[in-house]
Structures are given as C-alpha cells and as structure tokens.
Structure 1
Amino acid sequence: MNSLFSLTPSERGPIINTWEQKLGTPLEVCLEISGLAPLVQINDQISKAQPVASDPAGIKPDKHSSVSGTVIDVKKDFITIREEGTRVAPPADFSATDPASMLESLRRNGIDIRGFKHGFTLIINAVPHEKGMDGHRFLIEEFPEIMVTGLNYLKKALSPKACALAVPEGMNWSIPGCTVHEIIPVYPNSLPELITKAVTGQEIPPEVCVIDATTLYRIGRTVHGCQPVTLAIVKIGSTLFLTPVGIQVGTLLKLAGFRPAEHDRIILGGPLTGKAVYSLKHGISTETQAITILRAKNEPTVKDNPCVGCGECVIHCPARLMPNMISRHAEFGLYENTQTYNIASCFECGLCGYWCKAQRPILQYIRLAKTELAAKPIIKDLREQQ
C-alpha cells in the first residue's frame, strides 16, 4: 500500500509547548478573521481570551486573542497581535442549561457549531484525517477526562440518540458513553462521509452528526477551563506542538528544525486536502492539525494542462462523481454548470488530483466553483457547507 494512504497513528514523538520556548523576539500571532467583523483597532491593548472579531449574522464562531498584547495590524482577513504582558479576560460563562443557549455559548467561545443537530446520532471521528495528522492520539490518551467533559456537554445540548467513537483498527481507544467502531486505517476512510457509512451502514443517513476528536477536546477544554479556544495542537514531522492559535507558520517551522527552501510549498493540513499558504507569516487556525512541507522539484506539482480524458479521476472518486467534467466547467468560469455533475456531493478528498495524469489542480477548481456558487443566494445547501 502507498504509505501516503496509511492512517495508522505513528508513535508519539516529543511534545513541545511553544510558550516555554525562547524565540528571541516578541511572539506575534496572526488571527484569520475571514467573514468576521473586527472588534479591535490598531494600537488597542487587549487581553488573552478577549474577543477580537465576531460574525454579525451569529453563525460563524467568534475569534479570540490567544495572547495578551497590542494590536499591530488589522486587515480584512487577518488581525496581527504582538505579545506583551499577561492580561487575561474574565472567565466565560457556561451556566446556561437550555440547548440553544448552550450551543450559543460554544459559538461565542470559538467553537464551530454548524452541523450540530439536536436528536441526531453523534459520531466522534478519531481516525487521522490524513497521514501524519494524528496528534489527537495525545489528546485521547492523556486527557480522557477532558474528552468526557466535552461529550457530556454535547449530550445535554444535543440529546443525541446514540454516541459512537470511530477509531483506527488496532487502537485501544475509548470514551465512556460511546460505542467503539474500528475503521480500516486507509485513506480516504477517515473522511466524515465514509466514517458515517462505516458506522451506520448507510451512505447518506438523515440523522447523523460527525465531529472530529480534536473538536471534542476543544469543547471539553473550553467548558472545563471557562476560557475560549486559544490553543491548537499541530504536528510537524514527528513533533507535536501545543501552541497559541495564530502563531506564524515560520515560527513553528523554525522550532521544528525545518528550513523551507525556495519554491517549497507549505501546506496547512495534509498533502491531499490541505491548503498552501503564500507567506510564512500566515497564522495557523484552530482547525490546523499539521503542517506539511512539499519540497520543490524540477517540475511543478500541478500544471496548467488540459484534461486528457483518461478517466482516472472518475475511477478513483469515492463519491462516484465526474471530477474531470466539474473541473473543466470551473476552469472556464461556468460554475452553474457544475451543479449538473453534483458538485455538492464532492467531499474534497483530493484523490482526483493525485491520480490525474495531466497533473491538473482538480480539487482547487472544485473548491473555486463551490466558493463562487456559495456566494449566490439560490445555492443554500452549498452556502451552509462553507
């Protein structure tokens, strides 16, 4: 089997707390606020855990500062803060007992609650999303009480019919209150849609909610500590970093001992579904579980080539779609036409681009089309997926 597709968790390597490292210069965090309204201005003095951006529509989670410091830049998509002092915002309030208020408390404290459904079967996905994205092994093995706290909170807020835990085959992981389902650790079995099928036996069951194990940990930690999400767990190589949200990619790579060369690509996530950053000053998000470096080669990873019609992307698509036709229409801006080929059913596994003989950026074309369609009010189902 191609090692790229193996999802068997690796042995735990060293764990580094970035707050304990000597960086030589004041720490700067770059918080992504795309789609949010900033609540601070340049030169504002802010506390750790203070809200810095919110969604006027009340849908996306609020963003909080992961450090105490001074706001040094505010742009449309990013807020940059230089660490100074040790100020901490007052504790968050999780005293609400009605389901709607409990979920709203999570959203205000940085948890994405989109997709949470009352009365659904809850599946906790503990299978690594991609090879190397297995830092949650540390969370499950070292902080079971935090995971239980998160699960108990969700049980009160969502009243799920049942709770299941999906784990890689051979891993002795469990969470009290969840039935355990072993999943063959081969990509793309880790994706929510395939996890759902493996657990329920149905491809599109109507009442299932899947969340990642790291999300469950964040919920438990937020509720237990009465503090919003300010911490991320990021794996680089074999090293796991406990780090503030927004820490710049270049800082983490330096601590991990990696020196990117010219034309190397830095990926937030894995090589199949991750997203490249254009600057080493790009901050990591709450959801960033790994940083991958794609070393430069004589030829680019993807090329601006026409589709050769080989059909490899169709053969390997687990959703049984036609990525070749979707990408062809997206390439020329014919986004509405992609609906004919059921673009909304694509769960962005990246296998189409991996198998493409022409090395076309098929996944990127699909994501572009989804983004353009989501901006149109008539495409409600796509808008809710963003």
Structure 2
Amino acid sequence: MNPLFSLTPSERGPIVNTWEQDLGGPFEICLEITGLEPLVQNNEKVAKAQPVAADRNGIKPTIHSSISGTVTDVKKDFITIREEGTRVAEPVDFPGTGTREMLNALRENGINVRGLKKDCTLIINAMPHEVGMDGHRYLIEEFTDVMVTGLNYLKKAISPKACALACPTGMDWTIPGCTGYEIDPVYPNSLPELITKAITGKEMPSEVCVIDATTLYRIGRTIHGRQPVTLVIVKVGSTPFLTPVGTPVGILLKLADFRPGEHDRVILGGPLTGEAVYSLKHGVSPETQAITILKANKEPTVKDNPCVGCGECVINCPARLEPNMISRHSEFGLYENTLTYNIASCIECGLCGYWCRAQRPLLQYIRLAKKELAAKPILEDLREKQ
C-alpha cells in the first residue's frame, strides 16, 4: 500500500508539553481571525480563555486567547499576543435546554457547530484524517469520560436518533452510548462523506451529522471546565505536542528538530488536503492536528501547466466529478460555470491533484471557486458545505 494512503494509527508515544521546553525567549502566539471582527486592541491586556475575535453574523466560532498576555499586533487576519501574567477569564455557564441556545453557547466558546441539527443521526469520526494525523488515539483511550460529557451535552442539544463511532479496523475504541463501526484505514475513507456512506449506505443524507472525535473531546472539555479549550495536540513527524492554540509553526518545527529548507513548504494538516503557510510565525488553529513538510524538489510540486486531458483526476475522483473541467473554469475566473459540474459535491480529498500528470493545482482552483461562490447570498446550499 502507498504509505501516503495508510490511515492505520501509529503506536502511542509520549506527548511533549510546549510550555515545559526552552523556547529561547518570550512566548508569543499568532491567532488567525480571517472573517472575524477583533474584540481587542493593541497593547490591551487579555486573560487566558478571553474572547478576542467573533463573527458578527453568528456563524463562525469565536476565537479566544490561549495565554494570558498583552496584545502586540492586530491585523485583518491575525492577532498576536505576548505571554505575560497568569490572568484567566471567568468560568461560563452553559444552558441546559434549547437546541439553538445550547449550540450557540458552544460556538461562542470556540466550537464549530455548523451542520449540527436536531433529530439527526450523529456520527463521531475517529478516523485519522490523513496519514500521521492520529491524535484521536490518545484522546479516546485516555479521556473517554470527557468524550461522554461532550456526547451527553449533544444528546440534550440535538436529540440524535442514533449515535455511531467510526474507527479504523483493528482499533478497540469505544465511547459509551455509541455503536461502533470499523472502517478500512485507507485514505480517503476517513472523509465525512465516505464515513457516512460506509455506515448508512447513503451518500450524505440530510438527516446525518458527522463531527470529528477531536471536536467531541473539545465539547466535553469545554463543558467540564466551563471555559474554552485553549490547548491542541499537534503532531510533527512522529512527535505529538500539547500546545496552546496560536503557537507558531516555527516553534513546533524547532522542538521536533525539523529544519525546513528555503523552498520547502510547511503545511497545516496533511499533504493531500492541508494548507501551506507563508510564514513560520503562522499559528496553529484549534482544528490543526498535524504539521507536514513537503521537501522542495528541482521542479515545483504544482505548476500552471495546461490540462493534458489524461482523465486521471476523473477516474480517481471518489465523488465522480470532473475536476479537470471545474479547475479550468475556476482558473479563468468563470466561477459560476463550475456549478454546472456540481462543484458543491466536491469533498476536497485532494486526489485529483495527486494523480494529475500535468501537476496542476486542482484542489486550490476548486477551493478558490467555492470561496468566490460562497460570498454570493443566493448560493446558500454551497455555503453550508464550506
């Protein structure tokens, strides 16, 4: 099997706590706030777990500071905070009834609840998203009680008709209250759409909601601690780090003894679906589970080559789309034309770009078109799939 596609979790190793390491200077975090409104100003003192950016439309989760410190910079897309002091935000109370109220409380405490709805079939996805992104193992094996706390809160909030746990074949993982399903640990079987098909036999039916096991853990930890979760487990190579949200990727790479070259690409996530950062000061987000380095070759990994019409992207697309046609229209700004080719059904697995003989940035073109289309108010169905 191509190791790039294997989703078998690795053996558990010791987790490194970032704050216990010698960082060689003051610790500073960088929080991405793209599309959100800043709630703080330069030189303002902030407490750990204090909200620093929120969505005025009430859709995206609120961003909180993961440390106590001073705001050193506020830009359109980023807030930088230097660690200082030991201030902690006041605990919050969570409502015990009302679907909208309970889900909104989670969103305001940093949890992405988009797609969750009442009376659904709830699937907890414990599959590694890509190779090496297997922090679920530690969370499920060590913090089952926290997972149960999160599940109980969701049961009160959305009253699911059934709860299922999807995990790799051979992993004896359980969460009380969930029916277990073993999934063949081969990418892209870990993606929500394929998880749903494997468990229900249907392709993304409207009555099914899928959340990541890490999200369930964060819900449980948030409810239990009455504060937003400010720490994430990020795997760099074979080393898992427990680190504050917003930790610059450069710090984690240094602690893992990685020295990226001049033209290497640093990816938040995996090589197929992750997103490259332009600076090692870029901080990890609450959803970041791994950092991947793509080593530079003599030639670029992707090029602005024309499509050669080989059809490999179509043959290997699990959603049965035509990525070649979608990317061609997106490349020239003809975004609405991509609707003809069902762009909203793209699950962004990245296999089209992997198999492309012309090395075109197919997934990037598709994501660009989705972003442009989602900005238009008439395309509500597409926006919900982002």
Equivalent in the alignment of 2:193? 193
Check if 1:306 corresponds to 2:313: no
Distance in 1, matches of 2:383 and 2:95, equals 32
Is contact 2:249-2:283 (8 Å) kept? yes
Question: The residue matched to 2:42 in structure 1 has which SS?
Answer: coil
- Counterpart AA for 2:69: G
Instruction: Give, in whole Å, the separation in 1 of the partners of 2:327 and 2:147.
Output: 40
Distance 1:274 1:301 in 2: 14
Q: Distance in 1 between matches of 2:306 and 2:188?
A: 26
Contact 1:30 1:81 in 2 (8 A): yes
Deviation, 1:382, is 1.6
The CA RMSD over aligned residues, in Å, is 0.8
CA contact (8 A) 1:12 1:238 kept: no
Q: Retained in 1: the 8 A contact 2:95–2:105?
A: no
Q: Equivalent residues in 2 for 1:323-334 (5 A)?
A: 323-334=323-334
Q: Distance in 2 between matches of 1:258 and 1:205?
A: 43
Q: Hey, what's the Cα distance between the residues in 2 that align with 1:81 and 1:51? A: 13
User: What displacement does 1:95 show?
Assistant: 4.2
Alpha-carbon distance between aligned partners in 2 of 1:60 and 1:229, rounded to the nearest angstrom: 16
Q: Does 1:375 align with 2:378?
A: no
C-alpha distance in 2 between matches for 1:277 and 1:340: 32
Provide the C-alpha distance between the structure 2 equivalents of 1:135 and 1:165, rounded to a whole number of angstroms: 16
Find the counterpart in structure 1 of residue 245 from structure 2: 245
1 CA distance for matches of 2:197 and 2:282?
36
Q: Secondary structure at the match of 1:3?
A: coil
Structure 1: how far apart are the matches of 2:223 and 2:351?
37
Render the CA deviation track for 1:202-236: whole Å, top value 9, x for unaligned: 11322000000000000001011111131111011
| Number of residue pairs aligned between Structure 1 and Structure 2 | 386
Partner of 2:230: 230
CA offsets 1:278-305 (integer angstroms, 9 cap, x no match): 0000011000000000011111110110
Residues 264 and 294 of structure 1 are in contact (CA less than 8 Å); yes or no, is this contact kept in structure 2?
A: yes
Counterpart in the other structure of 1:297: 297
- Normalising by the residue count of structure 1, what TM-score does the alignment of the two structures yield? 0.99
Q: 2-side partners of 1:199 and 1:383: how far apart?
A: 25
Counterpart residue type for residue 179 of structure 2:
T
Aligned match of 1:109: 109
8 Å contact kept, 1:31–1:283 = yes
Q: Deviations over 1:11-55 (max 9, x none)?
A: 112211112222121111001111111010000011001110111
TM-score with structure 2 setting the length: 0.99
* Identity score, percent: 78
- Give the letter for the 2:369 counterpart: A
Moved more, 95-104 or 201-210: 95-104
Q: Would you identify which runs of 4 or more consecutive aligned residues in structure 1 move more than 3 Å?
A: none
In structure 2, the residue corresponding to 1:41 is in which secondary structure? coil
Cα offset, 1:168, TM superposition: 0.2
The SS at the match of 2:35 is coil
- 3-state SS in 1 of match to 2:4: helix
User: Gaps (5+ residues) in structure 2?
Assistant: none
* AA in 2 matched with 1:209: C
